[in-house]
Amino acid sequence: MSSTPTQTGTPVQLPKLGESVTEGTIGAWLKQVGDHVDKYEALVEITTDKVNAEVPSPFTGTLVQITAQEGETLPVGAELCVIDAGGGAAAEPVEATQHEQPASTTASEMPTATSAPPSDHERSPRPTGPDGALELLRTRSSPAVRRIAEEHGIEIGQIAGSGIGGRVTKRDILQFVEDQRSAPVQPATAVSTPTAPPVMPARPESREPAPAPAPGQVEVYEGDTVVPLTPMRRQIAEHMVRSERTAPHVTTWMEVDMTRVVAARARVKERFTQDEGFDLTYLAYVIKGVVQALHDHPNVNAVWDESRIIRRKAINIGVAVGLEDGLIVPVIRNADEKNIAGIARAIRDLTTKARENRLSVDDVQGGTFTVNNPGTFGTILSTPIIVQPQSAILSTEAIVKRPVVIDDSIAIRSMMNLSLSLDHRVLDGLAGARFLSEVKNWLERFNPESSVY
Amino acid sequence: MATKLLIEAIHDTLVDEMRKDERVILMGEDVGARGGVFRVSADMIEEFGDNRVIDTPLAESGIIGAAIGASLNGLLPIAEIQFFDFIHSAMNQILNEAAKIRYRSNGDFHCPIVIRTPYGGGVHGALYHSQSIEAIFTREPGLKVVAPIFPADAAGLLRSAIHDEDPVLFLEHKKGYRAIRDEVPANGHVVPIGKARIVKSGSDATVISYGMMLHESLAAAKALEEKGGGSIEVIDLRSLRPLDSETILESVMKTGKVLIVHEANRFGGVGAEVSALISEEAFAWLDAPVMRIGGAEVPAMPYTKPLEAAYLPNQQTIGAALEKLAAF
Task: Indicate which CATH number applies to the domain containing A390.
Answer: 3.30.559.10
Q: For residue A182, how many other CB atoms are within 10 A of its CB?
A: 6
B244 contacts B216 by C-beta, under 8 angstroms: no
Q: How far is CA A262 from CA A167, A257, A375, B252, in A?
A: 57, 10, 15, 72
| CA distance linking residue B62 with residue B65, whole number of Å | 5
Type of residue found at B222: K
Q: Any CB–CB contact under 8 A between B268 and chain A?
A: no
Judging contacts by C-beta atoms under 8 Å, the chain A residues touching residue B325 are 113
B321 touches chain A (CB under 8 A): yes
Tell me how far apart the alpha carbons of residues A406 and A134 are, in angstroms, rounded to a whole number.
71
8 Å CB contact between B171 and B156: no
Residue A250: inside a domain, yes or no? yes
The pLDDT tens digits for A255-294 are 999 999 999 999 999 999 999 999 999 999 999 999 999 9
B317/A115 Cβ within 8 A: yes
Residues of B in contact with A107 (CB under 8 A): none
Instruction: Out of A80, A109, A138, pick the residue that ends a domain.
Output: A109
> Considering only CA atoms, which of B38, B112, B97, B39 is closest in space to residue B65?
B97
The answer to whether B309 faces chain A, any CB pair under 8 Å, is: no
A219 pLDDT band (50/70/90 cuts)? Answer: confident
**Would you say B310 and B296 are in contact if contact means Cβ atoms under 8 Å apart?**
yes
- Closest chain B residue to A150 measured between Cα atoms? B284
Does the distance separating the beta carbons of B267 and A122 come in below 8 Å? yes
Interface of B with A in 220-259 (CB under 8 A): 256, 259
Alpha carbon distances (Å) from A387 to A247, A307, A320, B288 = 10, 19, 10, 40
A325 carries an active-site annotation? no
List Cβ neighbours of A205 (8 Å cut-off, separation of 6 or more).
none
pLDDT of residue A176: 87
Residue A200 belongs to a domain? no
Comparing CA positions, the residue from A349, A375, A343 lying closest to residue A362 is A349
Q: Reading across the β-sheet that carries B168-173, which strands appear in turn?
A: B53-55, B24-28, B76-80, B114-119, B168-173, B144-146, B239-241
Our CA-based measurement puts residue B120 at a distance from the nearest CA of chain A, in whole angstroms, of 17
Query: In angstroms, what separates the C-alpha of A104 from chain B's closest C-alpha?
Result: 11
Same domain, yes or no: A440 and A296: yes
Query: Is B208 an interface residue toward A (CB < 8 Å)?
Result: no
Residue A216 touches partner B, C-beta closer than 8 Å: no
Q: What residue type is assigned to position A216 of the chain?
A: G
Instruction: List the single residue in B with minimal CA-CA distance to A116.
Output: B296
We report the CATH number of the domain holding residue A35 as 2.40.50.100
Phi-psi sector, B237: left (phi>0), alpha (psi -120 to 50), beta: alpha
Region A365-379 average pLDDT: 92
Distance from CA of B294 to the nearest CA of A (A): 6
- Give the best residue of A115, A140, A156 to mutate against chain B (max B CB count within 10 A): A115
Q: Does B288 touch chain A (CB under 8 A)?
A: yes
pLDDT value for B5: 97
**Residue A305: predicted pLDDT:** 86
| Helices B6-20 and B151-163, packing angle to 10 deg | 30
Number of domains in chain A: 2
Is the domain of A105 the same as that of A245?
no
Tally the C-alpha atoms within 13 A of residue B149's C-alpha that lie toward its C-beta.
Answer: 26
- Provide the 10 A C-beta neighbour count for residue B29: 20
Whether A169 sits inside 8 A of B320 (CB atoms) is no
3 state SS of A425 = coil
Nearest CA in chain B to A172: B287
Instruction: Give the torsion sign (CA, B302, B303, B307, B310).
Output: positive
Those of residues 7-46 in B touching chain A at CB distance below 8 A are none
* A219-223, A345-349, B61-65: segment of lowest average pLDDT: A219-223
pLDDT at A89: 40
Domain stops at, among A109, A125, A151: A109
Query: Residue A113's Cα: distance from chain center in Å?
Result: 43
pLDDT of residue A215: 57
Q: For residue A120, what is the nearest residue in chain B, using CA coordinates?
A: B297
* Model pLDDT, residue A56: 83
ipTM topping 0.85: no
Residues B89 and B63: beta-carbon distance below 8 Å: no
Sort out which chain A residues have CB atoms less than 8 A from B298's CB and list them. Answer: 116
CA dist A142 → A46, A136, A145, A174, B163 (Å): 27, 11, 5, 13, 44
Interatomic CA distance for residues B291 and A110, integer angstroms: 9
Of A363, A367, A388, A370, which is closest to residue A52 (Cα–Cα)? A363
Q: Domain for residue A435, yes or no? A: yes
Extract the residue ranges of chain B whose pLDDT is less than 50: none
Domain with A437, as residue range(s), is 241-444
Q: Could you report the per-residue pLDDT of A427-448, keeping only the tens digit for each?
A: 999 999 999 999 999 999 999 8
Flag whether A308 is in a domain: yes
Pairs of residues, one from chain A and one from chain B, whose beta carbons lie less than 8 Å apart: 78
Does A111 touch chain B if contact means CB atoms closer than 8 Å?
Answer: yes
- How far, in Å, CA of B57 to CA of A351, rounded? 97
Kindly give, in sequence order, each residue whose CB lies less than 8 Å from that of residue B46, ignoring residues fewer than 6 positions away: none
Task: Report angle CA A193, A195, A200 to the nearest 5 degrees.
Answer: 100
Nearest chain B residue (CA) to A118: B297
Is there a contact between A110 and B324 if contact means CB atoms under 8 Å apart?
yes
Q: Are A397 and A419 in contact (CB under 8 A)?
A: yes
Q: Which residues of chain A are within 8 Å of residue B285 when distances are taken between CB atoms?
A: 143-144, 147
Of these residues, B129, B173, B215, B262, which one is catalytic?
B129
State whether residue B222 is helix, strand or coil: helix
Single out the residue in A92, A109, A126 at which a domain terminates: A109
Flag whether residue A116 sits within 8 Å of chain B, measured between CB atoms: yes
pLDDT at A190: 35
Q: Would residue A228 count as lying in a domain?
A: no
How far does the CA of residue B230 sit from the closest CA of chain A (Å)?
Answer: 12
Compute the distance between CA of residue B71 and CA of residue B58 in angstroms, rounded to an integer.
Answer: 21
Residues A58, B291: Cα–Cα separation, whole Å: 39
Contact at 8 Å (CB) between A21 and A195? no
Q: Does B179 touch chain A (CB under 8 A)?
A: no
* Shortest Cα distance, chain B CAs vs residue A162, angstroms: 8
Show the domains of chain B with their CATH numbers: 2-184 (3.40.50.970), 197-327 (3.40.50.920)
* Alpha carbon separation from A307 to A304, A444, B157 (Å, rounded): 8, 38, 69
Mutate to test the interface with B, among A1, A101, A114 (most CBs of B within 10 A): A114
Nearest to B236 by CA among B227, B225, B244: B244
Q: Could you tell me if residue A324 is inside a domain?
A: yes
Exposure letters A185-205 (e unless 16+ CB within 10 A, then b): eebbebbbbeebbbbbbbbee
Per residue in A109-134, pLDDT tens? 343 333 444 444 444 443 444 455 55
pLDDT at residue A239 is higher than 80: yes
Is there a domain that residue A175 lies in? Answer: no
CA distance A142 to chain B (A): 5
Q: Are B113 and B61 in contact (CB under 8 A)?
A: no
User: B2 touching A, CB under 8 A?
Assistant: no
Q: Does A225 fall in a domain?
A: no
B204 CA: distance to closest CA in chain A (Å): 9
For A136-182, how does the pLDDT look when each residue is reduced to its tens digit (9 = 90+)?
555 678 889 988 888 888 888 778 888 877 788 888 898 888 888 77
CB contact under 8 A, A142 and B256: yes
Interface check B297 vs A, CB under 8 A? yes
Query: Exposed (0-12), middle (13-18) or buried (19+): which is B40, by Cβ within 10 Å?
Result: buried
